Amino acid sequence: MNDNAALAAQVRTASQLTGTFLLRSGRTSTEYFDKYLFEADPALLAAVVAGLTELVPPGAEILAGLELGGVPLVTLLSQRTGLPARFVRKKAKEYGTRRIAEGGDVTGRHVALVEDVVTSGGAVLDATRVLRDAGAVVEHVLCVIDRQEGGRERLAELGLTLHPVLTRADLEAAAADT
């Protein structure tokens, strides 16, 4: 079993839930990958971030994690790569700085977004618009799991390239191998 297949098996075992789940996209699914289950396991989180590290595009100056699942990923990825992190909220804080992107300025900087699971890409598209409005150059998105449900295509419409560590096909292949 290669490293990617082993990681897919670990992530699947740790985080795949079955049942009926409402996704952010509004769709209902009979399977759900609970990213908090792989993010809460220090060894598995380290393995996932090792995979993300290999995907950081040349020229990236800042890594921006989406609230909430992208925050632990971007924090560890920042530490591993030496690139500064930013944290993108779902909505601006209503007190204090009232910012939607925390951690410093992004104006004119090449920002790679970091997300846990991409289904339709809605959260990534929202964050991209906010960061671009703030003057960031956003062209790349790193994620742990691409559910292969149209997110890649929707992101491409906004000029974004998706770089997943794992895809739904990888996770299904891991299930077949067990």
In DSSP notation, 137-165 reads EEEEEEEEEE--SSHHHHHHHTT-EEEEE
The answer to whether the annotation marks 120 as part of a ligand binding site is yes
What is 53-75 written as a DSSP string? HTTPPTT--EEEEETTTHHHHHH
Per-residue tens of pLDDT for the chain, all 178 residues? 578 999 999 999 999 999 999 887 788 989 888 999 999 999 999 999 999 999 999 999 999 999 999 999 999 999 999 999 999 988 766 777 777 789 999 999 999 999 999 999 999 999 999 999 999 999 999 999 999 999 999 999 999 999 999 999 999 999 887 6
The answer to whether the annotation marks 89 as part of a ligand binding site is yes
The answer to whether the annotation marks 137 as part of a ligand binding site is no
CATH of 3-176, one of 3.40.50.9100, 3.40.50.1370, 3.40.1400.10, 3.40.50.2020: 3.40.50.2020
| Structural domain spans, the chain | 3-176
The answer to whether the annotation marks 6 as part of a ligand binding site is no
